[in-house]
A and B are shown apart, each in its own frame.
Chain A
Amino acid sequence: MIQLFHVSRVFPGDYAALSDVSLAVKRGEFVFLTGPSGAGKTTLLNLIFCEDQPTHGQILVDGCNVAQLRRSAVPALRRKIGVVFQDFKLLPRSTVAENVALTLQVVGIKGQERDRRVRRMLAQVGLEHRASALPPQLSGGEQQRAVIARALIHDPLVLLGDEPTGNLDPVLTIQIMDLLCAANARGVTVLVATHDPALLGRYRKRTLQLDRGCLVLDSEGTSANRRAAQA
């Protein structure tokens, strides 16, 4: 589903956020991306959903070469991906339901069908009673659940999480992780960036570790990943 071939991202001033990273994530897999702050986790996620472009290398998402994508083709790629941001990125003047519906607005799903799917998704994340609340009126956990609802409502192929539990207490962290696992159980490929070792210990999933821009560990080291690494 996601393949990186010798990907580097060098920022002005010769700062290499990623150096020659090659990896492969299979369809339906749940993978943790870990490493200390500044290891390149967010940069890698940004490259996958085309928020940034690699300096070198190629990135394939569902067979589409992201590194060579025209600007006009970026929206179509992003509609295949759901993203959960650490800082939520919710529209502060729109209600929870409107925020969640935004993803469906973008793909052109009409009124009643849209409302039905929003209600169902809010129920799944336990926010149906907060549908008409504004984001500033929500707790951190509720805001993160709203973001997950927005990221999953259009049935994406891939769900990217950038420290989705970074600001949450342990109870809320488990709630959020359970939602991500449930999405994965429905077939969504999940890639979660985290630097929380407790999370890695609790959920025994494949782990990719980055350090100073280099991929230093793949917990499974499957043959597919070795092939990608050797490519």
Chain B
Amino acid sequence: MIANGAYFCRSALDGLRRAPLLHLLSVTAIAFALLLGGMSRLATRWLDSLLIASRNQLELTIYLEPTVSEQQAGRIAEQLAELGAPARVISAEAALRRLRLELGDLGKVLDDLPRNPLPVTIELDLPASMRASAQLSPLLARAKAIPGIADVDDGGQATAQLVGVARALRFGAAAVFAIAALATVLIVAATLQLTIYARREEIEIQKLVGATNAFVRAPFLIEGLIQGLAGALAAAAGLAAIARLLGPRLNPLISFVADRVPVSTPRPLALLLELTIAGGLLGVLGSLAAVHRFSRS
């Protein structure tokens, strides 16, 4: 079989030359499916980056009972530090100043308040290694048990919602890609079957001189592979164009949500490799379906 590699490739290229429009249809279908897959891959990757960024920027705030003084808060902070969570006390005045700053122009309304409504709080400066839920959950449970602590806000709800959205998006993208991939395989199989039908005389002659099924099938598998690779290249070009068009518009949005955190994007070579493998698989699967159906008939 290997000795005939050049013959198979020549035969496959000849097949592509004979019906260029038919093969263009297959290449377009493969490119479209891969473009969909690539876009959902980029989207989920960006969402993952946002998740990581939001976890890293999470502010863990300890709310104290209203009766706790600043001195008592200091002792609670020492207890928290003993648990492995470095903490700093934010006085009621400091908290109000911060709120005024965050509100900007609207901060002036705080001047009209008869008294400072904010309690003394404690903020935890957790190292990144402790932010994983496996380490964080027991720490927060032990913190809640310390007398004087009313509540702990770990931003878990917001993160959980983001994780849910990411999961749904990932599942939806996978489902859409699976449907598109199946449709593509069927299109490739249908077009190649027409090619096989057009070359049935040639196949008959090959079989009469002793060609095995593998010998007859090989050029069609190569045709499918070439279609897949061409589709992958077209999809890669499409993705590059989309990234160039949408990138400048998306970056400010991402920076707004995840300030100062670099958003992870796939390396172009890795993405091209993934697309090439996926495209090749789609093409070969389509041609396998076509030759299998032809052999049975």
Do A and B actually bind? yes
Kindly identify which residue among B3, B7, B210 contacts A75, using a CB–CB cutoff of 8 Å: B210
| Structural contact, A106 and B206, CB atoms closer than 8 A | yes
Interface centre among B3, B209, B215 (most CB of A within 10 A): B209
CB distance A78 to B1 under 8 Å?
no
Q: Which of A78, A111, A150 has the most CB of B within 10 A?
A: A78
Chain B interfacial residues counted at CB < 8 A: 18
Contact assessment for A76 and B205 in the assembled complex, using a CB-CB cutoff below 8 Å: no
Q: Determine which of B204, B209, B213 lies in contact with A102 in the assembled complex, contact meaning CB atoms within 8 Å.
A: B209
Closest B residue to A109 by beta carbon equals B3
Residues of chain A lying within 8 A (CB to CB) of residue B210: 75-79, 103, 106-107
On whether the beta carbons of A75 and B211 are closer than 8 Å, the reply is: yes
Query: Would you call B209 and A78 a contact (CB within 8 A)?
Result: yes
Q: Which 10 A-B pairs have the closest CB atoms?
A: A78-B210, A79-B210, A110-B3, A75-B210, A75-B212, A106-B211, A103-B209, A108-B3, A106-B210, A89-B205
Asked if B59 lies at the interface with its beta carbon under 8 angstroms from chain A, I say no
**By DSSP majority rule, is chain B's interface helix, strand, loop, or mixed?**
helix
Q: Residues 1-18 of chain B: 1 if any A CB is under 8 Å from the residue's CB, otherwise 0?
A: 101101100000010000
Task: Indicate if the CB atoms of A91 and B205 lie closer than 8 Å.
Answer: yes
Q: Which residues of A contact B (CB under 8 A)?
A: 49, 51, 72, 75-79, 83, 89-91, 93, 102-103, 105-111, 150
Interface residues of B (CB under 8 A from A): 1, 3-4, 6-7, 14, 202, 204-213, 215
Give the chain A neighbours of B209 by CB distance below 8 A.
78-79, 83, 102-103, 106, 150
Chain B hits for A79, CB < 8 A: 209-210
Please report the C-alpha to C-alpha distance between residue A113 and residue B1 in the assembled complex, in whole angstroms.
16
CB distance from A121 to the nearest CB of B (A): 14
Question: How far is it, in angstroms, between the C-alpha of A49 and the C-alpha of B205 when the chains are bound?
Answer: 13
Task: For the complex formed, measure the closest distance between the CB of A165 and the CB atoms of chain B, giving whole angstroms.
Answer: 20
Which residue in B4, B204, B205, B208 is a CB contact (below 8 Å) of A108?
B4
CA distance in complex: A91, B202 (Å): 6
Q: Is the CB of B4 within 8 A of A105?
A: yes
| Residues in B whose Cβ lies below 8 Å from that of A90 | 205
Q: Are B3 and A89 in contact (CB under 8 A)?
A: no
Q: Which residue of B lies closest to A151 (CB)?
A: B209
In the assembled complex, the Cα of A177 lies from the Cα of B153 at a distance in Å of: 100
A103 to B213, CA, bound (A): 15
| CB closest chain-B residue, reference A81 | B210
Interchain Cβ contacts under 8 Å between A and B, 29 examples: A49-B208, A51-B208, A72-B212, A75-B207, A75-B211, A77-B210, A78-B207, A78-B210, A79-B209, A83-B208, A89-B208, A91-B202, A91-B205, A93-B14, A102-B205, A102-B209, A103-B209, A103-B210, A105-B4, A105-B215, A106-B210, A106-B211, A106-B215, A108-B1, A108-B3, A109-B3, A110-B3, A111-B6, A150-B209
Specify which chain B residues have a CB less than 8 angstroms from the CB of A111 in the assembled complex.
Answer: 3, 6
A80 nearest CB neighbor, chain B only: B210
Q: How far is the CB of B229 from chain A (nearest CB, A)?
A: 25
Instruction: Specify which chain B residues have a CB less than 8 angstroms from the CB of A51 in the assembled complex.
Output: 208
A108 and B202 alpha carbons, distance in the complex (Å): 18
Separation of A177 and B186 alpha carbons in the complex (Å): 51
Shortest B268–chain A CB gap in Å is 38
- 14 A-B pairs besides A89-B205, A105-B7, A106-B210 with CB distance below 8 A are A75-B207, A75-B210, A78-B210, A83-B208, A83-B209, A90-B205, A91-B202, A91-B205, A103-B210, A105-B4, A105-B215, A107-B210, A108-B1, A150-B209
* A107-B209 Cα distance, complex, nearest whole Å: 9
Residues of B within 8 A of A108 (CB): 1, 3-4
